[in-house]
Structure 1
């Protein structure tokens, strides 16, 4: 979802900036602009002194300006924090029995899960991503199956094999897994 929000926000901001910037440039160069455009000459300003002071005496003006700026600042901060948040889990906390625990690299666990999933019969490719918290990891997996493989059988073998091995190895009580299954493209066979 974050990718689509980013694309929409950047696209909308870009369109607004291109439109306003182009119209300001056209007016500044003395080209024709629409009649409703707030300024139309090289020496004209976007907001005159009368326009800037028009709403100052109104009681709602300053709360509205401060409120809208605060909302914009909070949205910008939320967007920045969302960009900095890591989508993948970098390490998994393994209970070593000594009270301190050990850390398992997330990429290593992903690589093992990927290798074990791809070794199954009927699986052409597998992609694995660890998400969640380091004390409660979750697995997101995409399987591309060969044309002859059944999705139900492949997912069942995956749950009994690779996922169960990873859960047991890391000493986790549970390892929630989301599996998306697709099929590789294949050409039809020719009969002669």
Structure 2
């Protein structure tokens, strides 16, 4: 494979940078599992190759763990804290609509402004730092995987490196997983 086609192959197996942290975590875990499966089940590998792949798996496992450590607090925040604020805004918006329809609630607009102000404050003080930490870990993971690919391509074929990566859905936004209809990635590969 030429350098140009090797680069095209790498781009084709890359998850979109815009994909969520949770989707990056799934993608990286799929790659790690395939790397480990090569170590355990690929009879074409000699002892030195197998040991080198074990080292790559350990390094990737560390990056996966670091990303997991950033995904969990961000997801917990979104699914617990942020939804409470958003619920409060929806109630305040409802009360404003009711007041506009002639139902008595003179304080509805003030409550809506207060809820929106608190939501904006929460975004600045809680969400942005969590999102920044997650974004940094996504970048570190992607960089670690690019370095891993480069090291592996020195010793193995491009096809071997490509074998590590799962198929992605259209737009490279998530891992394709038709085998699990409950998975949000249940979609056909691109």
TM-score (norm 2): 0.29
Calculate the TM-score normalised by the size of structure 1: 0.28
Higher share of residues assigned helix: 2
Greater strand content: 1
Higher relative contact order (CA 8 A, sep 6+): 2
Larger Rg: 1
